Amino acid sequence: MPRRMLHINPGRVVVHIVLIIITLAFLFPLLWMFSTSIKTQAEYFTYPPVWIPAHPTLEHYRYIVSTTGLNAVRNSLIVASVNVALVMAVSIPAAYAIARFRIGGHDFSFWVLSQRMLAPIAVILPLFLLFSQLKLVDTHPALILGYTGFNVAFAVWLLIGFFEEFPTEIEDAGLVDGCSRWGVLFRITLPIVTPGLVVTALFCFVFAWNEFLFALILTRQAAATIPVQLAAFQAPTKILWGEMSAFATVSILPPLVFAFLLQRYLVRGLAVGGIR
């Protein structure tokens, strides 16, 4: 290692050091949150700030578990996973039809994509009025249905790309052998594009897991998801930084784990298939 280092020119070393500093700067808020979550109150309400807690504690995590935490996690899990299942069930056939037959032409596919561009506040106003009349407010179905609009648009566009990469010759063989279109889709195509399906599902899950505006309006207490319960810590009367940080740390674990799994697809997923 030292011998190889000698051949590295100083410019490149500087670039690497700069990159390490930048990366640490971007990770700092997350690290700070974690460090706050294991500090005692005396250590976070102090001046100058304490960087590394001298007496790490798990009391804030225990507090979260004993209060609203578990119910919120449960709600988020139910809403996000049922939403993903529903979204995938309708998006897979639609994306397949667009990829193979250009069904509905440009208009149909752009109409689907445009759903992703809608301002959430414009959709939630009428959705709230309708769901109140249906007595769905503060139930899981309200959020599960509410998130489908955005997620379906997203999923269809991501899936089109995965289906287009799949060679049609294999499907043709199935068709000639007497499979129907639905049969080809389920028996031949889907098993092979599974990685693409997983990527799409994970992105949809993260969106539903992180969403705040719809959850704020469509839930009260029983069905409140993690972001809603987290937002309650923002109230000026209670500054429970340790508890808040502990809850936030737990809540970002699934998205962070997914980030490592999805890294090759992040651009594709986050830029709506606009850029590949």
Partner 1 sequence: MQGFVPVNADPTSEELTVRPSAVSISSAQRHHGALWRWLEQKSLVIPVTVLLFGVTIFPLIYSLAVSLHIYDLRQEVLWKFSGLENYRIALFEDARFWGSLFTTLRIGVAAVTIEFLLGLGIALLLYGPIIGRRFFTTLLALPVMVSPVVSALIFRMMLHEKYGVINGTLNMIITHFGLGKEFAILADQRWAIWAVVLTDVWQWTPLMIMILLAGLQSMPLEPLEAARVDGAGRWQTFWYVMLPMLRLAIFAALLLRFIDVLKTFDLPFILTGGGPGRATETISIYIYLNGFRYLRMGYATAMSYLLLVLTVVLSTIFIRNVVQRRSV
* Helix (H) or strand (E) run with residue 74 in it: helix 69-101
Least Cβ distance, residue 145 to partner 1 (angstroms): 6
C-alpha distance from residue 45 to each of 38, 40, 49, 58, 63 (Å): 13, 9, 8, 17, 18
Pick from 172, 192, 220, 222 the residue near partner 1 by CB under 8 A: 172
- Compute and round to an integer the Cα radius of gyration of the chain: 23
Q: Does 32 bind partner 1 (CB under 8 A)?
A: yes
Site for partner 1 in 213-232 (CB under 8 A): 213, 217, 226-227, 230-231
Considering only residues 187-206, where is the footprint of partner 1 by CB under 8 A? 188, 206
6-12 contacts at long range (C-beta below 8 A, 24 or more positions apart): none
167 binds partner 1 (CB under 8 A): no
Question: Would you say 219 and 138 are in contact if contact means Cβ atoms under 8 Å apart?
Answer: yes
Q: State yes or no: residue 21 binds partner 1 (CB under 8 A).
A: no
Among 160, 190, 198, 222, binds partner 1 (CB under 8 A): 160
Q: Show the tokens assigned to 65.
A: 């578990």
Geometric angle at alpha carbon 103, from 101 and 106, rounded to 5°: 115
- Does residue 22 belong to the site contacting partner 1 (CB under 8 A)? yes
Among 146, 158, 162, 205, binds partner 1 (CB under 8 A): 146
Indicate which single residue of 5, 6, 52, 176 sits in contact with partner 1 (rule: CB under 8 A): 176
Query: CA 184, 265, 204 angle in degrees (round to 5)?
Result: 70
Shortest distance in whole angstroms from residue 97 CB to partner 1:
4
Q: Which residue in 73, 80, 145, 193 binds partner 1 (CB under 8 A)? A: 145
Q: Which of 160, 246, 197, 218 is nearest to 85 (CA)?
A: 197
Tokens representing residue 190 in the block: 């889907």
Beta carbon nearer to partner 1, 180 or 194: 180
Shortest CB 50 distance to partner 1, Å: 9
> Scanning the structure block, which residue is given the tokens 């009367």?
237
233 part of the interface to partner 1, by CB under 8 A: yes
Pick left, alpha or beta for residue 143 (phi over 0 → left; psi -120 to 50 → alpha; otherwise beta): alpha
Rounded distance, CA 233 to CA 213, Å?
A: 16
Total residues at the site for partner 1 (CB under 8 A)? 117
Subset of residues 246 to 265 that bind partner 1, contact rule: CB under 8 A: 248, 251-252, 255-256, 258-260, 263
- Rounded to a whole number of angstroms, the minimum distance from the CB of residue 221 to partner 1 is 16
Least Å from the CB of residue 127 to partner 1: 5
Residues 102-141 that bind partner 1 (CB under 8 A): 102-104, 106, 108-110, 112-115, 117-123, 125-130
